[in-house]
Amino acid sequence: MQKHGLQLSAEEIYSVNHSSLKDAIVSFGGFCSAEMISPQGLMLTNHHCGYSAIQSHSTIQNQYLSNGFWAGSNKEELPGKNLYARFLISMDDVTHRVLAELSDNMSEQERADVVARVSKDIAREIKAGTHYDVVVKDFFAGNEFYVFVYETFPDVRLVGAPPESIGKYGGQAESWMWPRHAGDFALFRVYSGPDGKPAPYSANNVPYIPKHHLPISLNGIREGDFAMVLGYPGSTDRFLTSFGVQQLLKQTNPVRIRIRGERINILKEDMDADKEVRVKYASKYSGISNFWQYFVGQNLGLSNMKVLEKRRDLEKEFMEWVAEDEERKKSYGNVLEMIRDSYDESYRINLSSLYLSEAALGVEIIRFSNNFRGMETALELDIKDPERIKSLVESLKEASKYHFRSYNASTDRKVMAALLEMYYYDVPQEDHPGIFSHVFEKYGGDFNAWASAVFSHSIFSKEEHVQDFLNNPDLHILQADPAYIASTSLIDNYYRNISPRLKEINALRDQGNRLFVKGLMEMNPDQKLYPNANTTMRVSFGKVLGYQAHGGVKYNYYTSLEGVIKKRDSTKQDLIVPDKLLDLYRKKDYGIYQNKDGEMVVDFITSNDITGGSSGSPVLDGQGRLIGTVFDANWETMSGDIAFESNLQRSINVDIRYILFIIEKFAGANHLIKEMTLIKDDLKESSVRGRLKKDG
């Protein structure tokens, strides 16, 4: 990394005993990354990462999604439901301790049980007497193990977010595309108790003082500059065999694409017809369609990069290496055969599993009513437990309020009819849940008629009916509810008939994958293999770099505000430009944030390796200063979770200067800028602050 431009030591990136970069990097809610940018707990992430939090405070009268939100003071900041900021305290290698308890003659279930027991013991020992969260994670398909210690702050509040016309400029049509012109950022603040430790939301809490916050560079970016990303990427499968790649191409992704495509068409039709539905479903629609596009792009990328052929070549090389040694034959001779057999046996069961997760659980009334399983169990007890029932009632009432805040029954009814009809006709009859027989016996196979009846008679279609039930829980009402009956039939069918067979197949595959990865590591002892992403902190280094796509199209490494204005179209929701932003452009009122050519840079690309969960991660220069925030990847990177191609794949990032420009010039939130540490090499920090003050 230092050869490529890093000017920091390893200790300055990660240290247990001293302040380091890792102390400014945040796991945001467990689904995105973020970074601390002030000594007063100010945190930067993506607009799309904070989208649900912004939406939860938005109404028809108070449209924070459309108009943006900026807190003028700490008192105006809005609490985020179910959000948290998690900081890494330390990590340690515990491989030897875990492996010492394992033996080669164990079944995969026995092995998993031992790993779980030892991991629990390790976590309990480290956590003892502390408020930390401790977790043991496996790496390299279960060949290595590390323990991670975290500090988790549950009081996270919304500070600022630009309007969608900036934060989501270009909309879903431009997701995964370059060039981009989105100001995809949002600001939150982390709060602690007065003692500096994590505490639930309270008016007495104070802004958290981080061990480190990132200084911000105003120097700008040039092609070839060093770029480093630290964050919490979700998952990759870089050791996936050719058999797994083939199943993705032939079955898994096509099924997901078909089901999600139907679902987003229904949602979009209702959102276009009703503004209230649009507000309620904006976040859901974005998430569903984002992954629909991802699955389309992944298949295209895997095909274009000939990943299937490359994996077959690697496996051929592996078997040739195995054949050279008798001990290797004993250890690895049947590994690929095990993996192949697991996939051959899995196609039918994989189809059933996909339709449960994508179709059945894509119906919100099915998913929501399943939350009442615990209530059914409590009401069935011969001797009632009033305290348990009371606790369940309180929990379900809160869940109900949250659910119906972004729910439209008529939309969900259409989704139910369409998706479950697809389930019926696409999944083999022997794997069908019993509820489908009811649909044909009573409704002649008319899924629209069935869905209408369910929504007409189910308590789960209306919030007031759910609340009435919870005020007086009744077992017979619950068990007779048509949505609850459908939910239990669909989900019980999976756990009775699908899951046990899937578990057997996965056990065979897990064993084969673990041995295959172990063999690859032995085959290439001098090669620096890196493990799959698993929501733990990772560092990626690359360069600010344009690229040439398939077909010879060359892309520049940055976009500017001029591109925003050129694309604007007042007739298209995703291409509307706010009047104030247009006015700032016309006046070229960019303050200290313009580049040397007088341009307002919006987004730029780097060759960093990222994936889902990396969103919101900081992009740093060689001195550890913030130059941008990751928010997307280019179309060619859709296969990146399986195979990374540095010549084509790019991380798409918001330039930090554009973020500051929007905060100061567009939103007028200078008080937030003043919290930050701004650095420009040709100016002292005091001069930067002076110019900020002079510019208002």
Which positions are catalytic? Answer: 48, 184, 615
**How many CA within 13 A on the CB side of residue 254?**
10
Q: Rounded to 10 degrees, what is the CA torsion of 277, 278, 283, 288?
A: 90
- Taking the C-alpha atoms of residue 501 and residue 352, their distance in angstroms, rounded to an integer, is 11
Nearest partner of 423 among 238, 263, 536, 656, judged by Cα: 263
- Taking the C-alpha atoms of residue 485 and residue 458, their distance in angstroms, rounded to an integer, is 10
- Taking the C-alpha atoms of residue 434 and residue 488, their distance in angstroms, rounded to an integer, is 10
Q: Phi then psi for 460, rounded to 5 degrees?
A: -85, 0
Q: Phi then psi for 548, rounded to 5 degrees?
A: -110, 120
Please answer whether residues 166 and 581 qualify as being in contact, where contact means their C-beta atoms are separated by less than 8 angstroms: yes
β partners of residue 654? 603, 629
- Taking the C-alpha atoms of residue 164 and residue 141, their distance in angstroms, rounded to an integer, is 40
Strands 25-28 and 85-93: antiparallel
Q: Please name the residues in contact with 81: beta carbons below 8 A apart, sequence gap of 6 or more.
A: 53, 56, 402
- State the DSSP code for 231: E
- DSSP line for 534-576: -SS-EEEEEEB--EE-TTS-EE-SEEEHHHHHHH--TTSGGG-
**Token couple for 69:** 């939100």
User: Amino acid identity, residue 431?
Assistant: D
Describe the chain by its helix, strand, coil percentages, rounded to 5: 50, 15, 35
Burial 501-525 (b: 16+ CB within 10 A, else e): bbebbbbbbbbbbbbbbbbbeebee
**Token couple for 19:** 């302040």
Q: Please name the residues in contact with 505: beta carbons below 8 A apart, sequence gap of 6 or more.
A: 342, 345, 346, 349
- State the DSSP code for 427: S
- Taking the C-alpha atoms of residue 134 and residue 147, their distance in angstroms, rounded to an integer, is 7
**Token couple for 487:** 């939910």
Q: Please name the residues in contact with 212: beta carbons below 8 A apart, sequence gap of 6 or more.
A: 19, 20, 21, 23, 24, 36
- Taking the C-alpha atoms of residue 208 and residue 206, their distance in angstroms, rounded to an integer, is 6
**How many CA within 13 A on the CB side of residue 428?**
11
Radius of gyration, alpha carbons of the chain: 26
Nearest partner of 161 among 85, 55, 83, judged by Cα: 55
Q: Is 44 helix (H, G, I), strand (E, B) or coil?
A: strand
- Taking the C-alpha atoms of residue 146 and residue 149, their distance in angstroms, rounded to an integer, is 10
β partners of residue 35? 25, 44
Nearest partner of 562 among 601, 596, 604, 590, judged by Cα: 601
Q: Phi then psi for 242, rounded to 5 degrees?
A: -60, -30
- Taking the C-alpha atoms of residue 150 and residue 131, their distance in angstroms, rounded to an integer, is 9
